[in-house]
Chain A
Amino acid sequence: MSTIYILWLRQVKKYFRARSRIVGALGQPLLFMLAFGFGFGQVFRQAGQGDYIQFLGPGIIMMSVLFAAVFSGIDLIWDRQFGFLKETMIAPVPRWQIMLGKTLGGATVASFQGLIVFLMALVIGFRFHDPLMLPLGALFVFLVAVIFTSFGVAIASRIEDMQGFQLIMNFLVMPLFFLSGALFPLQGLPAAMEVVTRVNPVSYGVDGLRGALIDSSVFGIATDLLVMVVLAVVLLAIGSYLFEKIQA
Chain B
Amino acid sequence: MASGAIVTVTGLFKKFKDFAAVDDITFSVERGEIFAFLGPNGAGKSTTIKMLTTLLQPTGGEITVDGNDPANRKDAVRKSFGIVFQDPSLDDDLTGLENMRYHAILYKVPKDIRDERTAELLKFVELWERRHSLVKTFSGGMKRRLEIARGLLHHPKILFLDEPTLGLDPQTRNHIWNYIKDINRQEGMTVFFTTHYMDEAEKIAERIAIIDHGKIIAIGSPHDLVARTNTTSLEEAFIALTGSTIREQEVSSLDRMREMGRMWRRQR
A93 at the binding interface (Cβ < 8 Å): yes
A64 to B108, CA, bound (A): 36
A10 at the binding interface (Cβ < 8 Å): yes
Is the CB–CB distance between A90 and B55 below 8 Å? Answer: yes
Is the CB–CB distance between A6 and B260 below 8 Å? Answer: no
A160 to B79, CA, bound (A): 28
Interface residues of A in 1-30 (CB under 8 A from B): 2-3, 5-6, 10, 13-14, 17-18
Is the CB–CB distance between B105 and A160 below 8 Å? Answer: no
Candidates A10, A13, A89, A160; contact of B254 at CB < 8 Å: A160
Q: Which of B87-95, B199-207, B241-249 contacts A (4 or more CB under 8 A)?
A: B87-95
Query: A83-B89, A92-B75 given as contacts; is B257 within 8 A of A162 (CB)?
Result: yes
Residue of B nearest to A3 (CB): B106
Query: A14-B94, A84-B91 given as contacts; is B106 within 8 A of A91 (CB)?
Result: yes
**0/1 interface trace, chain A 216-248, chain B, CB 8 Å (1 if under):** 000000000000000000000000000000011
Is the CB–CB distance between B88 and A83 below 8 Å? Answer: yes
CB distance from B78 to the nearest CB of A (A): 4
A199 to B194, CA, bound (A): 54
Candidates A5, A13, A81, A82; contact of B98 at CB < 8 Å: A13
Provide the residues of chain B in CB contact with A248, threshold 8 Å.
55
A2 to B101, CA, bound (A): 11
A162 to B260, CA, bound (A): 9
Residue of B nearest to A15 (CB): B93
A98 to B76, CA, bound (A): 18
A86 at the binding interface (Cβ < 8 Å): yes
Is the CB–CB distance between A86 and B85 below 8 Å? Answer: yes
- Mostly, the A contact residues are helix
Candidates B78, B83, B98, B150; contact of A92 at CB < 8 Å: B78
Is the CB–CB distance between B89 and A84 below 8 Å? Answer: yes
Provide the residues of chain B in CB contact with A82, threshold 8 Å.
88-89, 91-92, 258, 261
Is the CB–CB distance between A90 and B78 below 8 Å? Answer: yes
B54 at the binding interface (Cβ < 8 Å): yes
Residue of A nearest to B257 (CB): A161
A14 to B108, CA, bound (A): 22
A162 to B259, CA, bound (A): 12
Interface residues of B in 67-103 (CB under 8 A from A): 74-76, 78-79, 83, 85, 87-94, 98, 101-103
Residue of A nearest to B56 (CB): A247
**Other contacts beyond A10-B98, A10-B102, A92-B78: 4, CB < 8 A:** A5-B105, A17-B134, A88-B106, A90-B83
Chain A residues with CB under 8 Å of chain B are 2-3, 5-6, 10, 13-14, 17-18, 78-84, 86-93, 160-162, 247-248
- Name 29 A/B residue pairs within 8 A (Cβ), A-sorted: A2-B105, A3-B105, A10-B102, A13-B98, A14-B94, A80-B254, A81-B257, A81-B258, A82-B91, A82-B261, A83-B85, A83-B87, A83-B89, A83-B90, A86-B89, A87-B89, A87-B150, A89-B55, A90-B54, A91-B78, A91-B103, A92-B74, A92-B107, A160-B254, A160-B257, A161-B260, A162-B260, A247-B55, A247-B56
Chain B residues with CB under 8 Å of chain A are 53-56, 74-76, 78-79, 83, 85, 87-94, 98, 101-103, 105-108, 134, 150, 253-254, 256-258, 260-261
| The 9 residue pairs across chains A and B that have the minimum distance between CB atoms | A91-B106, A92-B78, A83-B89, A92-B75, A6-B105, A87-B89, A161-B257, A83-B87, A81-B261
